[in-house]
Amino acid sequence: MGITDLFQLDGRVALVTGASSGLGVAFAQALAEAGADVVLAARRAARLADTAGLVEKAGRRALTVPADVAKPEDCQRAAAAAMAEFGRIDILVNNAGIATAVPASRETPEQFRQVIDINLNGSYWMAQACGKVMQPGSSIINISSVLGLTTAGLPQAAYSASKAGLIGLTRDLAQQWTGRKGIRVNAIAPGFFESEMSGQYQPGYLEAMAARILAGKPGDPRHLAATLVWLASDAASYVTGQTIVVDGGVTLT
């Protein structure tokens, strides 16, 4: 087996949450191009058809499952649908997430809880559902953020707390499951990438943040997806409990 063969995902099945837009689409497409069939989960079910088309264009099978990860029963249903269709789940990408930019003195309990419920709790419920059926050699990848490690000039207490929590969750699931179940658990902490979420920033915000990006520009989602494929593949089979920062140098400034 050559070194490049280690990056291939032929015969594997990936489940991607938040697959209806943004980075979730890039992740699903990259996993399919690397050889995986992909289960696509999101609340906005109507938009999953476009992502499914990209997976099928890459020559792989796609299954769409409407799901709100904040509901444990939806996570169980998504895992069950994957098992019914493909008989296995090898890769879980916990990508579903929302963000708010509300000053801490004005953020309501409902606003804070919604972010935590989707970004952090939802990742836990989905990991629970998939971890029960995953076999040794499987991989869970939690999509955190550099805002779990630093700040970025916006009032994002709920989002930052949820993404920092994901880093802690990653470490703990890795120490519980890697040795006992053979499931690797890692996280990616993206910096500023072009996505639907970044499109919600106020005009001029990304330009103002450019000075903190040593690479000089926002990231290309395909480069982030390449990191994800590596973590999902046998090329990263000795990597677990880690948070891989992909930020163009933001956390160094």
Whether 37 and 86 have beta carbons less than 8 Å apart is answered as yes
Cα angle 85, 119, 106 (rounded to 5 degrees) comes to 150
How far is 94 from 42, CA to CA, in rounded Å? 11
Positive or negative torsion for Cα 15, 18, 22, 23: negative
Q: Say which amino acid occupies 61.
A: R
DSSP for residue 60: -
Given the residues 124, 159, 201, 238, select the one marked as catalytic: 159
Clarify whether 205 is annotated catalytic.
no
Q: Say which amino acid occupies 156.
A: Q
Q: Three-state SS string across 191-213, please?
A: CCECCCCHHHCCCCHHHHHHHHC
How far is 211 from 216, CA to CA, in rounded Å? 7
Whole-number Cα distances in Å, 163 to 17, 48, 233 = 16, 25, 24
Q: Which residues have CB under 8 Å from 52's CB, separation 6+? A: 40, 62, 63, 64
Alpha-carbon Rg for the chain, nearest whole angstrom, is 17
Q: Report the Cα 66 to chain-centroid distance in Å.
A: 17
Q: Annotated active-site positions, please? A: 159
